[in-house]
Structure 1
């Protein structure tokens, strides 16, 4: 029996880049990590590659660079450099940054358009505050919608490109899936905003859900209702997803639905003092249930 051929230098490098992306998701998100492990093998690495790029950009603007003593002007330069590196890697097929290289491979393999990448970096630039800024920076409804589209909805659309890259969809099916992907991304982001009120307002000086003030009980209930409606909108498109993607998406949806249920029972004032979490045992139970339900579906 002959030995397997040695991987080429490029194959070894690309495998290393994928491993780096997987390490990022493992380090930063238990919920997303659980859901991603439920993806079919053909999707798993691509979704990790997307998440890893999103994560390192998010960390740049959410305090890591500042903790290194890097000011806002230099942060903007670093973010622009990262964005330029992404587009250069997409064009050339290579980056010396392993996370960028992994993401660019996914972009090329799955047909992710530049029009989905540019809004993401635009939202990240919004998060960089000048040193002169003081107090809470509030987002009005228009600013909120633009930020959520760039920071979350386009990420949902990127993942959809991964899941459907081998599918032949009718125009109405594609439209329903795109609406579902955007709704799910928006729901995840709005739920995260509610969960992270304490850190966003105290450490980062941001209020994505209000305008220079803490949200009221009425505000909280309205945002909970909006996120719940977005989850329901996303749920409608689930049956159109390939089965080896559907179980993971259903798992993620139900994990965030559980988190939203817990937030719905938490007063607004308390959300500014602690981060609401879903226990790992509950996450595991939800994952098992979502997987079993999908396996029982005929198509």
Structure 2
């Protein structure tokens, strides 16, 4: 008779693990660069950051094409997004969702102190993508806050609180750095995707009318990246390498955008350069521009 005790997860533990695996699969499919940066995180924050980004990716896909390709109208896609937000907030309250990605995110939210104050602005910005095609300064800034700065703040909640048992409010300096890093990432993506956003999605996030306007965006990106770089050393040690690698990848993209001559080709960083940036971060070098 075999009297050994099985170590296989069952019940809620199995469901939790499966939900985390589903979130990790979403990230692996959609972003090799992000998946690489996640591997540089310590085991404490890594699954939680994946859970945050998996939710963000699912919401993006509702507004960025797949829902339309499936035959949904703008109004129907909006209704799907509304239900996703409602289900997300309910999952945070109750600690369970039948949607595996939402379940994984809710576990992270409950452990790390991510509440409606961050979830609602995110979904508001996703909703804007269904309603607004051209942005002015005010709508641009509001959109960047909800779509990108909030994601940085969610990740900061993870960095500070994962595994602590008692979530705390991060310092104002870290909050500012997280917001500015998220904004820089989003602005870089706006510039990289300018042609696709205009032609495929019919959106204009930047309203650029001259080369000087484009340079002003790049200058803003550089200032935000420099400000974020200065506070990365204040993050918990098991987060710094990954954030440094992500920061430096986008700093490299910004530099390549500055030297590019057109918007019709999406600027990218060659794999060999990505590997060099990741190795630099792994070796503990400070992020680019940390002393600017």
* Distance of 1:67 and 1:13 partners within structure 2: 31
Residue in 2 that maps onto 1:251: 245
Residue pair 1:190, 1:223 contacting (<8 A) in 2 also: yes
The answer to whether 1:221 aligns with 2:215 is: yes
The answer to whether 1:177 aligns with 2:171 is: no
The answer to whether 1:156 aligns with 2:155 is: no
Cα deviations by residue, 1:11-50 (Å, 9 ceiling, x for unpaired): 1111111011001111111211111110000111000000
Residue pair 2:153, 2:178 contacting (<8 A) in 1 also: yes
TM-score by length of 1: 0.90
* Distance of 2:45 and 2:209 partners within structure 1: 38
1:6 is displaced (CA, Å) by 2.8
Give the secondary structure class of the aligned counterpart of 2:244.
Answer: helix
Residue in 2 that maps onto 1:238: 232
Cα deviations by residue, 1:210-253 (Å, 9 ceiling, x for unpaired): 1xxx5421111111100010001101111110111011000000
Residue in 2 that maps onto 1:86: 88
Kindly report which structure 2 residues correspond to 1:49-68, keeping only aligned pairs within 5 A, or say none. Answer: 49-68=51-70
The answer to whether 1:27 aligns with 2:35 is: no
* Distance of 1:89 and 1:170 partners within structure 2: 21
The answer to whether 1:276 aligns with 2:267 is: yes
Q: Which runs of 5+ in 1 are unaligned?
A: 131-136
**What's the C-alpha RMSD, in Å, of the aligned pairs?**
2.0
TM-score by length of 2: 0.92
Runs of 4+ deviating beyond 4 Å? 1-4, 167-171
Identify which of 122, 147, 172 aligns with 2:124.
122
Identify which of 177, 190, 193 aligns with 1:196.
193
